[in-house]
Amino acid sequence: MGAQLMPYLMSEDARAQADFYVRALGGEIQSVMTFGQMPGAPEEMADKVMHLAMTVAGGSALFFSDGGPVGYTRSISLSLSYGGEAEAREAFANLSDGGDVKHPFAPQPWGAYYGEVQDKFGVVWQIVKQL
């Protein structure tokens, strides 16, 4: 039995970030649990997301939570590999909306199309389409 990697993003606004990824990459929010659903949660955390599960880009899983401990590192880079160039270009363009293109999506000497963008939530996405 092997392990499965499940990216878990600490967010400042998990609902808005998940909604953006649904529009940008296609997908669906599977479930949302708030801190208020847990006994003894502080009132100021009641509407904050404790756990949000979603699928994007054909079924890849992503999890989210609002916040994290003070000083918690929020740096992450996610890579999506596509079979079609048009689909990869669309994802790159969608994720670039409000973000910062670090490397334009273009053919690379190593035999793939590649682009890198930091989305408006600070997540770096590497979009790949093998040649």
Could you say which DSSP state residue 128 is in? E
> Same structural domain for residues 56 and 93?
no
CA distances from 43 to 14, 90, 93 (A): 18, 41, 39
pLDDT given at position 16: 95
State the CATH number of the domain containing residue 62. Answer: 3.30.720
pLDDT given at position 58: 85
Q: Is residue 2 part of a domain?
A: no
Of 4-8, 15-19, 107-111, 123-127, least confident by mean pLDDT is 4-8
pLDDT reading at 69 higher than 60: no
In terms of residue numbers, what domain contains 35? 8-66
Q: How confident is the model at residue 76 (pLDDT cuts 50, 70, 90)?
A: confident
Instruction: Check if the beta carbon of residue 64 is closer than 8 Å to that of residue 18.
Output: yes
